[in-house]
Chains A and B, each alone.
Chain A
Amino acid sequence: MRLIDILDRITRPLLLLLVMSVDRILTLIQGRVGIDKMGYFFVLPNLLIFGIFVLFPMLLNLYYAMTGGTKLFPADRPFVGLDNFATLFDCDDFLSPNSCQEDLFWRGIFNTIQFVVLQVSAIVLFSLLTALALNRRIIARGFFRSVFFYPVLLSPVVVALIWKWVLQYEGVLNAIVELFGGESMRWLLDTNWAMFWVVFVSVWALMGFYTLILLAGLQSIPPELYEASSIDGANTWQDFRFVTMPLLMPTMFVVLVLSLIRAVQMFDHIFVLTGGGPGTRTQLMVQYIYTTGFSNQIQLFGLSAAASMVLGVSLLILTLLQLRLGNQSSLA
């Protein structure tokens, strides 16, 4: 007798017993709540997990945001209502962080906005171009697909360290610059270049993932449509404009939403590459939240939680806005 048959003999009655038990329980529940409400029962396990690991921490965070002091446990913390939010929004001029009580929070906001706009645009653009290139019949297509995806597999710390070595004063980049007669630069110390490199490195590290999604979207477009447009005399640009883009739009929105969320949450690459510097030039909201809540000797959990609520709500609004725009464009 083969091993598989032995296993089959053992497991079959067990499985049968399990199915019958589950069936009996479900029939019992259905008899009590009615078939209309059985849907709730099926989503209950997921809701429980969501409730315990997402909803409860969110509510706890909201509570922390309305408390002060430095104690860790919620019960020990004095309720201060919206004071932490008032502190965050206490500004003479919202466009000038130095006029705000929590200037670092506002620097974080402005840096985050700049980073998100630059990084998401770059990711969408370069991922699309790369996906279009990799969708063509080129030599060593599989190899290139792997090459572009490879950085995604690397730990953010490794990515940031590699680029730190490349960009340091005695690094590879300056060696190349000097080779062509240029002068070495402190790339990460220059306030303008620092933001550029932070965006560049994060795009380099992450675009492979979005390229893969777009590539899947491109491959799901039926080739017949291109054949039809070719018969109609469409050129390459018209193919792209009237066939590829409209059909790729839902995938593009997925990429947009995912990359936007990831960009707003960006921490690891930047933390290792520049530490948020020079000064606070590349310090984003998430780093402010972390520093305020955890890395100072006197840990301001309330202020940190309030800032994270602001970040969460901003992200929610942005995502809803994107989804709405996405729905409108697909209806049009």
Chain B
Amino acid sequence: MRKILALFVILTLLASALPAMTQDTVELRIRWYNDGNEGEVLRDLLDRFEADNPDISVEIDTVPYSAILENLPLDLAAGEGPDMARVTDLGGLAQYYLDMTPYLSDPAYWEENFGPFLNWKRVPGDDSSIPGFMTQLTITGPFINRTLFEQAGVEVPSDMSDSVTWEEWAAASVAVAEALEIPYPMAMDRSGHRFAGPAISMGAMYFDDMGHPTVMDEGFRNMAETFVNWHLDGTMHPEMWPLSEGYANAYEEFANAELAFYMAGSWAVGQFSEAIGDAFDWQAVPNPCGPGGCTGLPGGAALVGIVTTEHPEEVARVMEYLTSQDVLGEFGARTLFIQAHAGLSESGIDWNTDLQLAKDALSVFVGQVGTLTQTAFDLQAYIYNRNVFNATRDRLTQALVGELTLDEAIERIQDDVDTALAEVSG
């Protein structure tokens, strides 16, 4: 009986000591969304980190992308954010980011390798904080279904010229659709961000002389008019913009070979590699040209530390691990995401795919960096750019279905932008 009693006391003491032992492990939470397989890859990389750092455990809370856009800002404003988050509204949420500089062992590494992109995640006036890193650098741009062009006997315009216009692509896509009776010649993601590249190419300035956002110029109007007309004459996917709320894409239609030309961006390469593989020849082509250039829009997603975290040092340790050249290189290679890291740009990434189509597409997007215009960079760096993008998306949609004339729609975009900005400054 005494032995049993002694054993009981020992077990009780051990049990009570256990929480104290596990208390040494700091749990960090990442709010994350997925475009493709990056959640899986991150988990794998973090498992290795946890094995080497038993005092830190990292939980990934995967949420829909809409929750990153709509719920995360409210949580951050209420001071109830996670320790880290993957965001795309880079500048808009900058006030909530943790400046990791004091906790990093080598801040110079970050400046050296992520320098130009750190500004995207800083509030205006701040030129020194280190809030996080880009998990992917994206560039908007079109994909074509080359197999459909070949089957239809239509020449691929970019094979014949380095500066193909939007009109030339539209004409070729319509010819493909008519020849093969596919439902949609062209589609563009339902997003003001996606629309912005073509608009800048057509001459849209997006900012006035005072640096205030504006859409009241000929270039923007020209692209908007072309875009509306393409919906009216059946060139564009007729339902995607009018019949959606918020962001919508045409991945499915493109993967099902129902679409000749699709304006999306570099982040779709991973998706298409998995969904299409080599079932047909899909190809990224250079951004079409206009009087303002041949530009897409840069962008991307970033993993940032959140200022309300109780464990800034541990957050910085996780970030340092994830941004080390080897780990980030592996992340990029396995996710097929272009990386905004100077060292990796120099060394190149050995994409983890046997699919030549994916490698070629990534090369096209990487090659597009040089064609991006200053306006495109400025618009991406503008912290309230989503305000402009969303107003563009919603008001142009009204013009597409005849609720507003094109001029009314453009005026409304400007009104919406101005009203919201007045509230910010008010």
Query: What is the interface of chain A, defined by CB distance below 8 A to chain B?
Result: 68-73, 78, 98, 101, 103, 107, 168-170, 186, 188-189, 191, 271, 274-281, 287, 291, 294-300, 302
Contact = CB atoms under 8 A, between A and B. Distances in A.
11 contacts: A73-B77, A186-B238, A189-B239, A277-B243, A280-B398, A295-B69, A295-B70, A296-B420, A298-B384, A298-B421, A299-B74
Given A278-B242, A297-B89, A191 B401 contact: yes
Contacts of B239: 168-169, 186, 188-189
B343 interface: no
A98 B390 contact: no
Contacts, number: 91
Given A189-B239, A299-B73, A279 B400 contact: yes
Contact of A189 (B78, B243, B412, B421): B243
A81 B244 CA distance: 35
A169 B420 contact: no
Given A103-B412, A189-B243, A191-B401, A297 B92 contact: yes
Given A72-B77, A296-B420, 18 more contacts: A69-B423, A69-B424, A72-B78, A73-B78, A98-B404, A98-B408, A103-B412, A168-B239, A170-B183, A189-B243, A279-B242, A281-B403, A294-B70, A295-B70, A295-B390, A297-B89, A298-B423, A300-B420
Residue with the greatest number of chain A CB neighbours at <10 A, chosen from B92, B244, B387, B398: B398
B403 A279 contact: yes
Interface in B381-406: 384, 386-387, 390, 397-398, 400-404
A299 B386 CA distance: 12
B346 interface: no
A147 B397 CA distance: 39
B245 interface: yes
Given A72-B77, A299-B73, A188 B384 contact: no
A290 B183 CA distance: 34
B147 to A, nearest CB: 21
Interface in B222-278: 238-239, 242-246
A69 B243 contact: no
B387 A297 contact: yes
Contact of A300 (B401, B404, B423): B423
Contacts of A302: 423
Given A69-B423, A70-B424, A72-B78, A295 B242 contact: no
A73 B415 CA distance: 26
Contacts of A287: 245
Contacts of A71: 77
B426 interface: yes
Contact of A274 (B243, B390, B412): B243
B238 A277 contact: no
Contact of B244 (A72, A277, A280, A297): A277
Q: Which among A69, A70, A300 has the greatest number of chain B C-beta atoms within 10 A?
A: A70
A73 B421 CA distance: 19
A100 B421 CA distance: 19
A297 B78 CA distance: 16
Nearest to B387: A297
Contacts of B397: 277, 279
Nearest to B93: A297
B403 A280 contact: yes
Nearest to B423: A70
A277 B248 CA distance: 13
A274 B242 CA distance: 9
Contacts of A291: 245
A210 B69 CA distance: 37
A161 to B, nearest CB: 14
Contacts of A103: 412
A271 B243 CA distance: 10
B106 to A, nearest CB: 34
Nearest to B401: A279
